[in-house]
């Protein structure tokens, strides 16, 4: 009788746990799509801001980095502060703050107001990545690699849709009203997060990191952060020059929105494809292949006319964005001392910080040497990851061996 009761309780508990996992993943995906969409819609606005404020490439990159650098630099401190709140409250609040940044941009009358709005939006977005990643990791434990891939994929959905929406809106509205509409979308997302995310704090499921503490090493995690930083630098450099490359080939603002949608749509597919590739051929081999393909395709963009360039962009997106799915899924394997939450915060600090600094360096270089040289520098950065990835073989093998014990 007692055994029967235990089985019944187990059967009743299973749907509840599954629902909690689904709500956690769904909320994390909503937050990721919104905040990544906010980040990448800025690319469509860069030519508009350049024309209005008379900015150089370096100045334009610095303007964007007010958002990106703030978001990256505050990952660890913002995560520590947000840890005092429930993840549900932290994600909803961060979304409201980011939306408020777009309100400030929309109401700005000059460059100073735009800068203030970018900084405020960056503060809001600094909380999302570590908290949402930890939410998914806590909900799924050792089975989190697949859900983390879905979470990563959701970010590309935002990247693919927000730039297109902004590009289309810019055809009928000035950029300030468009910023106000984006703020409204953020408000709706914040309300949705409150409704979707579990009300009670999650009891973390057993993680891979907890079993692989001895096999993990600071060296391995440091290498992983370095690879992530260079991979992000490649992506940011390529995307910085892409709108101007398209304009030089005869493209318009709408063309830029379409081009970014093609890149990020390819990237969304790449997240799934590279995750599959990483599971079957290993992290090292899959990253080496995708980075080499990225460098080749970036160079191939230069001589092509506009239409063939657009045709090539989805393939570029697969390699350009897909690598990150493999890298994010490896964070729990190499988390120092098994502290997955802090590992995610540190990893996102490295990759987002790189995304803030790299465009400034690429922009300054392009101001002197031209857009073509800037794109070639981005391709060279992709190849620079290869020796670092090869050095990861030892730490990954040690972590895998300890996990299997």
Task: Report the CATH number that the domain containing residue 360 is assigned in CATH.
Answer: 1.20.1250.20
Segments forming the whole domain that contains residue 290:
24-404
In a domain, 18, yes or no: no
> Cα–Cα distance between 356 and 346 in angstroms, integer?
15
**178 — pLDDT class (breaks 50, 70, 90):** very high
Between residues 30 and 202, which one has the greater pLDDT?
A: 30
Are residues 227 and 396 in contact, defined by beta-carbon separation less than 8 angstroms?
A: no
Q: Quote the tokens at residue 371.
A: 């857009």
Q: What's the pTM?
A: 0.69
pLDDT per residue over 7-62, tens digit each?
A: 333 333 334 447 777 788 888 899 999 998 998 888 888 888 888 888 777 777 78
What pLDDT does 98 receive?
A: 92
> Cα–Cα distance between 267 and 148 in angstroms, integer?
15
Counted domains in the chain: 1
How many beta carbons lie within 10 A of that of residue 178, not counting itself?
Answer: 24
φ and ψ at 309, to 5 degrees?
-60, -45
In a domain, 5, yes or no: no
Placement of tokens 């935002």 in the chain: 158
Residue among 268, 261, 218, 224 nearest 242 (CA) = 261
Q: Quote the tokens at residue 326.
A: 């493999």
In a domain, 15, yes or no: no
In a domain, 1, yes or no: no
What pLDDT does 143 receive?
A: 67
């Amino acid at each position: 009788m007692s055994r029967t009761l235990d089985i019944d309780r187990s059967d009743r508990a299973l749907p509840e746990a599954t629902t909690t996992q689904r709500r956690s993943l769904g909320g994390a995906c909503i937050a990721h799509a919104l905040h990544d969409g906010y980040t990448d819609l800025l690319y469509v606005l860069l030519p508009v801001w350049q024309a209005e404020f008379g900015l150089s490439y370096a100045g334009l990159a610095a303007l964007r980095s007010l958002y990106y650098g703030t978001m990256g630099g505050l990952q660890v401190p913002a995560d520590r502060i947000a840890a005092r709140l429930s993840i549900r409250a932290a994600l909803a609040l961060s979304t409201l703050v980011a939306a408020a940044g777009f309100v400030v941009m929309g109401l700005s009358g000059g460059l100073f107001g735009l800068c203030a709005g970018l900084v405020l939006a960056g503060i809001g977005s600094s909380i999302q990545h570590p908290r949402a990643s930890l939410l998914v990791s806590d909900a799924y434990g050792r089975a989190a690699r697949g859900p983390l891939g879905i979470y990563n994929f959701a970010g590309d959905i935002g990247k693919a849709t927000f730039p297109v929406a902004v590009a289309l809106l810019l055809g009928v509205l000035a950029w300030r009203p468009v910023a106000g509409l984006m703020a409204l979308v953020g408000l709706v997302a914040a309300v949705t997060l409150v409704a979707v995310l579990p009300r009670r704090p999650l009891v973390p499921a057993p993680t891979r990191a907890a079993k692989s503490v001895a096999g993990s090493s600071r060296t391995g995690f440091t290498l992983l952060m370095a690879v992530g930083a260079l991979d992000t630098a490649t992506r940011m450099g390529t995307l910085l020059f892409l709108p101007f490359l398209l304009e030089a080939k005869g493209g318009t603002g709408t063309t830029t929105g379409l081009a970014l949608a093609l890149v990020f749509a390819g990237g969304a597919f790449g997240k799934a494809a590279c995750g599959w590739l990483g599971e079957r051929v290993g992290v090292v081999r899959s990253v080496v292949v995708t980075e080499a393909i990225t460098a080749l395709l970036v160079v191939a963009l230069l001589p092509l006319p506009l239409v063939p360039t657009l045709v090539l962009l989805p393939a570029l997106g697969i390699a350009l964005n897909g690598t990150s799915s493999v890298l994010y899924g490896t964070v729990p394997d190499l988390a120092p001392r098994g502290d997955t939450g802090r590992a995610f915060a540190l990893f996102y600090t490295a990759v987002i910080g790189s995304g803030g600094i790299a465009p400034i360096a690429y922009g300054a270089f392009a101001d002197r040497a031209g857009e073509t040289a800037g794109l070639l520098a981005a391709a060279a950065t992709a190849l620079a990851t290869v020796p670092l990835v090869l050095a990861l073989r030892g730490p990954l093998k040690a972590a895998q061996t300890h996990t299997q014990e």
